[in-house]
Amino acid sequence: MKNRVPNRDFVGARVIDPTLGLDAIRTIAVRNGVIAAIIDGAPAEPDLDAERVDCAGMVLCPGFIDPHVHLRHPGDPQKETLESGLAAAAAGGFTAVAAMPNTRPPIDRASAVSQLIRAAEAIGGVRCYPIGSVTIARAGDSMAALRGMAKAGAVAFSDDGATTASLKALYHAARLIADLPQPFLSHCDDPAFEGALMNEGAISDLLGVAGAPNLAEAAIAARDLLVARVTGKRWHLCHVSARETIDVLRWARSTGVDASGEATPHHVRCTDDQLLGFDASMRVNPPLRSATDVRALKAAVVDGTIDIFASDHAPHAPDDKEPPLSHACVGFSGLETAVAAMFDTFRDLPIATLVANFSTNVARLLGVEGGTLAPGSPADITGLHLERQWTVDPAAFLSKGRATAFSGQAFDVKPAMSVVGGAIVYAVDRSGRPLQGPNAARRAVKA
Ligand code: NCD
Ligand code: ZN
């Protein structure tokens, strides 16, 4: 039997919720794991049994949901485990994550979806939503049992890590389940360019290294959004990095295609010249692009063409990220830096927009609960400290991965609290010390 979550009043915070049009000091009253009320001042009829959580100096918003993480479960516990990945998510300010199916074995059948859900529930804390493979074994040619996975709880379908090679398989899959709400999430990278170590451009030419051009991404994005157009399927482009991909997304939406795209912190902040020293830790798919692409991507976030943020948390064991560049695994940990990096990059956008990109819009994409603090919703809440200086130290990550695009960078926004269904799964004070108390910060304390 699970312990009942205590009733709590989260008091004194600046509460920002784009769905309620709210930005004011409020008390969030949580009863039985659900938001009971958002109150101006003290509750009229205070519940004397409710625990008072002092949130003065914090911003509280609807729980952040990361639509794109790699938890490496099952198959690669040396890179990440469900425990370490979900702890990293909580510390990063996320109350839910959607887990990509490029595991060993891949999540390509209903039983694998159910097992992942059960394993994450046994850990508790941050919610974990499985994404099922589009094709059997993610091999790119034969459609997997999508309806069975949807019934078992898959929130979306993707062969992420690779493009679904067969247009025919992708088209048939989308057509077959066009009636289901689960979207397809495309990893756009033409397989013909496999083996590329970085972006193709001036830097790869200089280094004499094989690169993947913007076209390798944008051409597949166009292919996949055409599938969306002819099937009517809800579609989403993972980790958009090339300016031409944004053009393709704009075009598709202008013709009525129900499509969205996500931006990652590294693609809005880093450029391919960071590989000038053959830095293996910066190898990622899609690759870091040119400054022109970074500008275009940021502009697409500012104008709302891209309205979803994702970490693409892709942890690897330290050995996997060592030089040479050609041997290094692609990707790096992102859960514990994503919020700070995005708030820093888009400091001119209203906070409510950033909250929507991290929460409301993701809940809508995946068709999951949350994304709002409206009374009656599950009490999934993200707390942030603004104007809190800190420096990224990968040695302090709860993720097992130590590679990051942001080592040593200084930021001034830091996740302070993650509440899932009323349970405080992570909480720190302004100096980063775990808050005391029986239920607080269980996951902040490293074993
Ligand atoms: C991801 C991984 O390691 O699983 N790597 C990456 O560079 N992004 C795969 C992916 O998201 O495409
Ligand atoms: Zn991918």
Q: How far is the CA of 344 from the centre of ligand 1 (A)?
A: 24
pLDDT value of residue 342: 99
Q: How many domains does the chain have?
A: 1
Tokens in use for 20? 């309620």
In a domain, 244, yes or no: yes
- What range does the domain containing 324 cover? 63-84+100-107+134-333+357-366
In a domain, 304, yes or no: yes
Distance between CA atoms of residues 419 and 376, nearest Å: 15
Q: What is the DSSP string of 238-255?
A: SS---HHHHHHHHHHHHT
Q: Which of 217, 309, 317, 305 is nearest to 269 (CA)?
A: 309
Q: What is the largest CA-CA distance in the chain?
A: 71
In a domain, 373, yes or no: no
In a domain, 380, yes or no: no
Q: Known catalytic residues?
A: 312
Residue from 69, 73, 97, 102 to probe ligand 1 pocket by mutation (most atoms less than 8 Å from CB): 102
pLDDT value of residue 136: 98
Distance between CA atoms of residues 149 and 160, nearest Å: 16
Which residue type is seen at 69? V
Distance between CA atoms of residues 293 and 298, nearest Å: 9
Residue nearest to atom 10 of ligand 1 (CA): 161
Which segments of the chain have a pLDDT < 50?
A: 1, 437-447
Q: Is the CB of 314 under 6 A from ligand 1?
A: yes
- Residue positions counted in the chain: 447
Statement: the pTM of the whole predicted model exceeds 0.85: yes
Residue nearest to atom 12 of ligand 1 (CA): 161
Question: Residue 175 is part of a domain; what is its CATH number?
Answer: 3.20.20.140
pLDDT value of residue 2: 55
Q: How far is the CA of 191 from the centre of ligand 2 (A)?
A: 12
Q: pLDDT of 75-119, one tens digit each?
A: 999 999 999 999 999 999 999 999 999 999 999 999 999 999 999
Share of the chain above pLDDT 70, in %: 96
Residue nearest to atom 11 of ligand 1 (CA): 161
In a domain, 309, yes or no: yes
In a domain, 352, yes or no: no
In a domain, 204, yes or no: yes
Residue 70 contacts residue 315 (beta carbons within 8 Å): yes
pLDDT value of residue 8: 96
Residue 84 contacts residue 401 (beta carbons within 8 Å): no
Distance between CA atoms of residues 337 and 255, nearest Å: 36
Q: pLDDT of 242-270, one tens digit each?
A: 999 999 999 999 999 999 999 999 999 99
Distance between CA atoms of residues 353 and 307, nearest Å: 8
In a domain, 344, yes or no: no
